[in-house]
Amino acid sequence: MKEVKAVPGNWEAMTKGNHHERKKRIFSAAGGESFSRERFGVLLAFFAVAFAVLYYRSFHLHVMADQRLEKLTKNQYTTRLDRAAPRGNIYDIRGEALAVTVPTDSLALRPNRVKDQASFIEKLDKVISLSKSEISEKVSSNKKYLWVKRGLSPAESQMLRKDPIEGLELVKEAKRFYPNRELASQILGAVGRDGEGLGGVELYYEDYLRGDADKGLAFRDARGKTLQTDESVDLQEDVSHLYLTLHKGIQYAVETTLEETCKTYQAKTCTSVVMDPRTGAILAMASYPHFNPNQYGDYDLALWKNKAVTDSFEPGSIFKVVLSAAALESGLVKPDDKFFCEQGIYKIGSNAIHDHERYGVLSLREILKFSSNIGTYKVAQKIGKQVFARVIQDFGFGKRMGIDYPGEATGLVRPVGGWQEIDFANIAFGQGIGVTPLQIASAFSTIAAGGVRMKPYLVSKISDANNQPVWEAEPTPIKRVISEGTARQLRAMMKGVTEEGGTGTKASLPGYSVAGKTGTAQKIENGHYNHGKFMSSFVGFIPADQPRLTILVTVDEPQGQIYGGAVAAPAFRKIAWEALRELGVSPTDGPGLPQKRVSPILEASVMPTGVEQALGLAKEAGTRAALSLQASDLLRQKAPVEEPRAVLPHVATGSVSANSVVPDLSGLSMRQVLRRLEQNGLMAKLEGSGLAFEQRPVPGTTTKRGDVCLVSFRPRNE
Kindly state whether residue 2 participates in binding other proteins, applying the rule CB under 8 A.
Answer: no
By the 10 Å C-beta count (0-12 exposed, 13-18 middle, 19+ buried), 392 is classed as buried
Exposure string for 395-419, b = 16+ CB within 10 A, e = fewer? bbbbebbbbbbbbbbbbbbbebeeb
Closest CB to other proteins among residues 34, 466: 34
Least distance (Å) between residue 9 CB and other proteins: 4
Measured in degrees and rounded to the nearest 5, phi and psi for residue 411 equal 80, -175
Distance CA 506, CA 576 (A): 12
Kindly state whether residue 66 participates in binding other proteins, applying the rule CB under 8 A.
Answer: yes
Q: For the CA atoms of the chain, what is the radius of gyration?
A: 36
The DSSP string of 46-95 is HHHHHHHHHHHHHHHHHHS--HHHHHHHHHHT----BPPPPB--EE-TT-
Closest CB to other proteins among residues 35, 340: 35
Kindly state whether residue 29 participates in binding other proteins, applying the rule CB under 8 A.
Answer: yes
Partners of 687 in the β-ladder: 712
Least distance (Å) between residue 213 CB and other proteins: 23
CA atoms within 13 A on the CB side of 118: 0
Of the listed pieces 34-42, 154-162, 399-407, 616-624, which binds other proteins according to CB under 8 A?
34-42
Kindly state whether residue 33 participates in binding other proteins, applying the rule CB under 8 A.
Answer: yes
Closest CB to other proteins among residues 75, 702: 75
The H-assigned helical ranges of 174-273 are 185-188, 200-204, 206-209, 248-264
Least distance (Å) between residue 478 CB and other proteins: 53
Kindly state whether residue 43 participates in binding other proteins, applying the rule CB under 8 A.
Answer: yes
DSSP 673: H
Of the listed pieces 37-45, 80-88, 389-397, 562-570, which binds other proteins according to CB under 8 A?
37-45
Closest CB to other proteins among residues 46, 340: 46
Closest CB to other proteins among residues 47, 590: 47
Residues with Cβ within 8 Å of 569's Cβ and at least 6 positions away in sequence, in order, are: 498, 504, 505, 506, 507, 516, 518, 538, 553
Distance CA 662, CA 204 (A): 28
Q: Of the listed 28, 157, 240, 317, which one is catalytic?
A: 317
Of the listed pieces 68-76, 345-353, 362-370, 462-470, which binds other proteins according to CB under 8 A?
68-76
The sign of the torsion formed by the CA atoms of 605, 606, 610, 615 equals negative
Closest CB to other proteins among residues 58, 158: 58
Closest CB to other proteins among residues 65, 658: 65
Closest CB to other proteins among residues 30, 604: 30
CA-nearest of 84, 365, 112, 310 to 216 is 84
**Alpha-carbon distances of 528 from 76, 523, 525, 640, rounded to whole Å:** 56, 8, 5, 24
Kindly state whether residue 131 participates in binding other proteins, applying the rule CB under 8 A.
Answer: no
DSSP 294: G
Exposure string for 50-72, b = 16+ CB within 10 A, e = fewer? eeeeeeeeeeeeeeeeeeeeeee
Kindly state whether residue 116 participates in binding other proteins, applying the rule CB under 8 A.
Answer: no
Of the listed pieces 63-71, 151-159, 203-211, 311-319, which binds other proteins according to CB under 8 A?
63-71
Size of the site for other proteins (CB under 8 A): 43
Closest CB to other proteins among residues 6, 465: 6
- Centre a 10 Å sphere on the Cβ of residue 630 and count the other Cβ atoms it contains: 18
Kindly state whether residue 4 participates in binding other proteins, applying the rule CB under 8 A.
Answer: no
Per-residue interface string for the shown chain with other proteins, residues 69-98, x marking contact by CB under 8 A: xx-xx--xx---------------------
Q: How far does CA 251 lie from the centroid of its chain?
A: 18
Kindly state whether residue 45 participates in binding other proteins, applying the rule CB under 8 A.
Answer: no
Least distance (Å) between residue 76 CB and other proteins: 7
Is residue 179 a contact partner of residue 168, using CB atoms and an 8 Å limit? no
Is residue 178 a contact partner of residue 159, using CB atoms and an 8 Å limit? no
Of the listed pieces 41-49, 281-289, 454-462, 501-509, which binds other proteins according to CB under 8 A?
41-49
Closest CB to other proteins among residues 34, 657: 34
Among 1, 45, 51, 345, binds other proteins (CB under 8 A): 51
Least distance (Å) between residue 169 CB and other proteins: 19
Among 23, 58, 358, 420, binds other proteins (CB under 8 A): 58
Kindly state whether residue 133 participates in binding other proteins, applying the rule CB under 8 A.
Answer: no
Among 18, 19, 20, 31, binds other proteins (CB under 8 A): 31
- Centre a 10 Å sphere on the Cβ of residue 293 and count the other Cβ atoms it contains: 28
Among 16, 57, 399, 528, binds other proteins (CB under 8 A): 57
Among 23, 40, 237, 716, binds other proteins (CB under 8 A): 40
Per-residue interface string for the shown chain with other proteins, residues 196-225, x marking contact by CB under 8 A: ---------------------------xx-
Least distance (Å) between residue 641 CB and other proteins: 35
Distance CA 444, CA 550 (A): 7
Of the listed pieces 36-44, 229-237, 483-491, 602-610, which binds other proteins according to CB under 8 A?
36-44
Active site residue 460: no
Kindly state whether residue 63 participates in binding other proteins, applying the rule CB under 8 A.
Answer: yes
Of the listed pieces 3-11, 270-278, 564-572, 644-652, which binds other proteins according to CB under 8 A?
3-11
Residues with Cβ within 8 Å of 592's Cβ and at least 6 positions away in sequence, in order, are: 509, 510, 511, 512, 586
Closest CB to other proteins among residues 36, 468: 36
By the 10 Å C-beta count (0-12 exposed, 13-18 middle, 19+ buried), 148 is classed as buried
The DSSP string of 295-314 is GGGGS-GGGG--HHHH--B-
Least distance (Å) between residue 32 CB and other proteins: 4
By CB under 8 A, the residues from 7 to 26 that bind other proteins are: 7-11, 14, 26
Distance CA 219, CA 509 (A): 61
Distance CA 174, CA 194 (A): 9
Measured in degrees and rounded to the nearest 5, phi and psi for residue 218 equal -95, -45
CA-nearest of 671, 177, 632 to 471 is 671
Catalogue the active-site residues. Answer: 317
Q: Note the residues at the interface with other proteins (CB under 8 A).
A: 7-11, 14, 26, 29, 31-36, 39-40, 42-44, 47, 50-51, 53-55, 57-59, 61-63, 66, 68-70, 72-73, 76-77, 140, 142, 223-224
